[in-house]
Amino acid sequence: MIITDTHTHLYSEAFDEDRDAMIQRALNQNITRFFIPAIDSTYTNAMFQLEKAYPDNVFLMMGLHPTHVKENYKEELNHVEEMLAKRTFYAVGEIGIDLYWDKTTLGIQQEAFKHQIQLAKKYKLPIVIHCREAFNEIFEVLESEKSDDLFGIFHCFTGTLEQAQQAISYNMKLGIGGVITFKNGKIDQFLNQIDLGHIVLETDSPYLAPVPFRGKRNESGYIIKVLEKLSDIYGVSLQEIAKITTKNSEDVFNI
């Protein structure tokens, strides 16, 4: 059984004291593939070091996170372009729009999102979308970029059934993580209406730890709790969930 964490910030400072032990805990549970989203240029070297240490397990993305779209965003986008031209990445991400922290940057967030979608199309890569309090704004951009070569993952999906169906209509898989275990998470109430072929697993560690670890540091090994919850929701075995969601991730990331 191969289990794939399609979204984990293993280079985060939250893991500086026990990174190798934390990764080993995941490997011991057959979680053998980690897809690593970018935030901004300050983390690039740490991502490369992680890949060097775990070449068979770590798969890197490149992109500018929406909460890091600031005054210097054009320099950051240049960095993304330079990196994509230089070497292999498995996705452009995480990219998108976040209106939770700062609504004043909406204009430049939209510009950065569109630009990076176009880069993904140029390099025939999937996109990995970050959306917080911005479903309408995200869908507006996706509609304007809709095409056969637009595809990817709607990371940390927390929307409604209708929003899930809309995301899927843009060739997006739904990234399901710890929120599925929350009492107020809501997505557990309709997810069984979505075919498993549209779902990938993720942790977003060190964030959004599942129950019973909610509020603590998340880690990739905790994806087992997501797997168990999905097994309950769909009424199929853990092995079947792992098999289908790993196959879905292989299709998206082309590995």
Calpha distance 12→99 (Å, rounded)? 23
Neighbours of 205 (CB within 10 A): 27
pLDDT at residue 185, as a whole number: 81
Judged against a pLDDT cut of 90, whether residue 243 lies above it is answered with: yes
* pLDDT tier, 9 (very low <50, low <70, confident <90, very high otherwise): very high
Q: At what angle do helices 106-122 and 135-144 cross, to 10 degrees?
A: 40
Neighbours of 210 (CB within 10 A): 23
pLDDT at residue 177, as a whole number: 97
pLDDT tens digits, one per residue of 104-145: 999 999 999 999 999 999 999 999 999 999 999 999 999 999
Q: Which domains, from first to last, does the chain contain? A: 3-253 (3.20.20.140)
- 130: three-class secondary structure by DSSP: strand
pLDDT at residue 5, as a whole number: 98
Judged against a pLDDT cut of 90, whether residue 224 lies above it is answered with: yes
pLDDT at residue 184, as a whole number: 86
E runs forming strands in 62-158: 92-98, 127-132, 152-154
157-179: average pLDDT: 97
Calpha distance 80→184 (Å, rounded)? 36
DSSP string, 159-217: --HHHHHHHHHTTEEEEE-GGGGSTT--GGGTGGGS-GGGEEE---BTSSPPTTSTTS-
pLDDT at residue 1, as a whole number: 87
- 62: three-class secondary structure by DSSP: strand
Average pLDDT value over all residues in the chain: 97
Calpha distance 165→143 (Å, rounded)? 14
Adjacent-strand bridge partners of 128: 93, 153
pLDDT at residue 202, as a whole number: 98
* pLDDT tier, 86 (very low <50, low <70, confident <90, very high otherwise): very high
160 Cβ contact list (under 8 Å, min separation 6) = 186, 190
Judged against a pLDDT cut of 90, whether residue 12 lies above it is answered with: yes
- pTM over 0.95, yes/no: yes
Q: What burial letters (b/e) apply to 105-130, b meaning 16+ CB within 10 Å? A: bbeebbbbbebbbebbbeeebbbbbb
In 3D space, the residue among 3, 12, 2 whose CA is nearest the CA of residue 204 turns out to be 12
The total number of residues shown for the chain amounts to 255
pLDDT tens digits, one per residue of 24-77: 999 999 999 999 999 999 999 999 999 999 999 999 999 999 999 999 999 999
Judged against a pLDDT cut of 90, whether residue 94 lies above it is answered with: yes
pLDDT at residue 175, as a whole number: 98
